[in-house]
Chain A
Amino acid sequence: MNSIFKYLKSKLHVLLFLLLEILSIISIIRFNTYQTAFYYSNTRKLSLSLHEANSSIFDYFGLYTKNQALYNENIDLRRKLRSNYVVESKKIFEINDTVYKQRYKYFPAQVITNSTNRQNNFITINRGKSSGIEKGMGVFCPEGVVGTIVEVSDNYSIAVSVLNTEGFKVVPKIKELNDTKGTVNWNGKDPNYLNLENINKYEPLKVGYHIVTSPYSKNFPENVPIGVIESLKSRTTETFYDIKVKSSVNFGKIQTVYIVIDLFKDEIEKLEAELNKKNLNVK
């Protein structure tokens, strides 16, 4: 018995190595994708405050582009103002306020950490549970879709970026055809380009068509831009197009984002849950 202990003691470093390696591998497997991010929330405070200092410095370098984006968005909104329009019809009509009910609310937030050079990129945002943020909410910036929230702590949240080979999903619509089709993917290479897949090659698509979010997407309002079709290839052996989409967002320069809060989400989920109870899967 004694000799066993002696032997084990002489091999202590190997045991320690194996133990620590197994620990880290478990943490890779369990946590690495994204449920993870706030597991060690206390140890994160220091790191997040450093990241915040970092983003506050680099924010200044992007002020010009940020201004430009806000300016464009402002003009877009101004075009939609009711005061731009004159009533031409002489008929009397009534406006019933209750026709419209608010569905989406938006929260502004700052991006603290951001990366584009990995194959699974995430974004940390300085809003959390205390602002009413929940998992699954959409994140977009003035230029277009950025990602969806996957993890929330009290004051911060993590979003999976569109630049993610695994986690991000959005339902795309082709604006010119007004048709919901295909899936948007990122192949893990160029952060400026996305792929649009599963679109039949007999669809009348053209270069320059806009890809936006569809009304069927659960976490985004309709018509948030995703990108513009840059090239179309159809091969004789395949039934689907090879479509390259130029992303409308410059992911290296995201600083201010909006988080979408869908006020009808609970109601929709409740309905779907009832159907799922009857084994009718709604997706």
Chain B
Amino acid sequence: MILSILKYFALFFLIVIVQLFVLNNIFIGNYYGFLFQPQLIVMFVLLLPSSMQHSWLILVSFLAGFLFDVFFQSWGIHAAACTLIGFTRHYATRDIENVIGARDEDNQIWTSKKGQVWKWTYFLTFTAIYHFLFLLIESHGHNFFTRLLPSFVCSTLIAFVLILLLENLIYKPARN
């Protein structure tokens, strides 16, 4: 239990560091920089264990978003979006089951019975919702077609690829 909590703390700080040192420094000052705004925190919320109680899931997502807000001076945007994702993702992952042979401490989303395609749709859908909300609130809805939509599509795809990559690096499915 404590070990897995520590693991999630480590994951959170890894995400903050990747966001701060890598993602926020690429394309700064560039004309096309606005297309590149992936927010990795959504990965943290999506990877929380599905055996968590719904209320705890919402609370932890809110706290993660809030901490992210503190780090990146975006007061409340990440918190609002993370809480919504935490609330809705429960309905997607509550009936998840581990593949036979997976250990209890494995990440259930990683070792779920539903397979790759389900996992990809799960990540892509929620990443898209998250980025749409984030960009919409952040820009107050200005420049919807010229700036927000292209930025939304690009950032979602980039974040999706990054999440898959990072996940493959971090979670090795350990089986007996």
Contact = CB atoms under 8 A, between A and B. Distances in A.
Contacts of A30: 75
Nearest to B70: A43
B80 A165 contact: no
A31 B55 contact: no
Contact of B76 (A32, A113, A122): A32
B28 A116 contact: yes
B20 A50 contact: yes
B152 interface: no
A24 interface: yes
A247 B71 CA distance: 29
Interface stretch (A51-59, A236-244, A273-281): A51-59
A93 to B, nearest CB: 50
Given A44-B70, A57-B21, A191-B30, 4 more contacts: A13-B55, A30-B75, A47-B71, A116-B33
A8 to B, nearest CB: 12
Interface in B69-121: 69-77, 79-80, 83-84, 86-87, 90
Given A54-B21, A118-B139, A28 B28 contact: no
A21 B143 contact: no
Size bracket, chain A contacts? 35 or more
Given A28-B137, A119-B143, A13 B27 contact: no
Interface string B1-22: 0000000000000001100110
Interface string B136-154: 0111101100110000000
A20 B75 contact: no
8 contacts: A21-B84, A24-B65, A24-B76, A24-B80, A36-B75, A117-B36, A120-B139, A189-B31
Contacts of B73: 36-37, 113, 122, 124, 158
- Give the top 9 A-B pairs by smallest Cβ distance, nearest first: A252-B29, A27-B76, A24-B80, A24-B79, A31-B75, A28-B76, A13-B54, A117-B33, A252-B28
A153 to B, nearest CB: 12
Contacts of A21: 80, 83-84, 87
A100 interface: no
Max chain A Cβ within 10 angstroms of own Cβ: one of B16, B28, B65, B143: B28
Interface string A33-64: 00011011001100100110010011000000
Contact of B31 (A17, A26, A51, A191): A191
Contact of B29 (A40, A47, A187, A250): A250
Contact of B58 (A17, A31, A36, A58): A17
A25 B28 contact: no
B34 interface: yes
Interface of A: 12-13, 16-17, 20-21, 23-28, 30-32, 36-37, 39-40, 43-44, 47, 50-51, 54, 57-58, 113-120, 122, 124, 158, 165, 187-192, 250-253
A190 B21 CA distance: 23
Nearest to B79: A24
Nearest to B68: A47
B123 interface: no
A113 B28 CA distance: 11
B32 to A, nearest CB: 9
A13 B28 CA distance: 40
B59 A20 contact: yes
A13 B76 contact: no
B176 interface: no
Contacts of B69: 27
Interface string B160-174: 000000000000000
B31 A28 contact: no
A252 B30 contact: yes
A115 B24 contact: yes
A40 B72 CA distance: 12
Contacts of B75: 27-28, 30-32, 36-37, 39
A116 B83 CA distance: 27
Contact of B146 (A13, A122, A124, A189): A189
B138 A114 contact: no
A165 B141 CA distance: 12
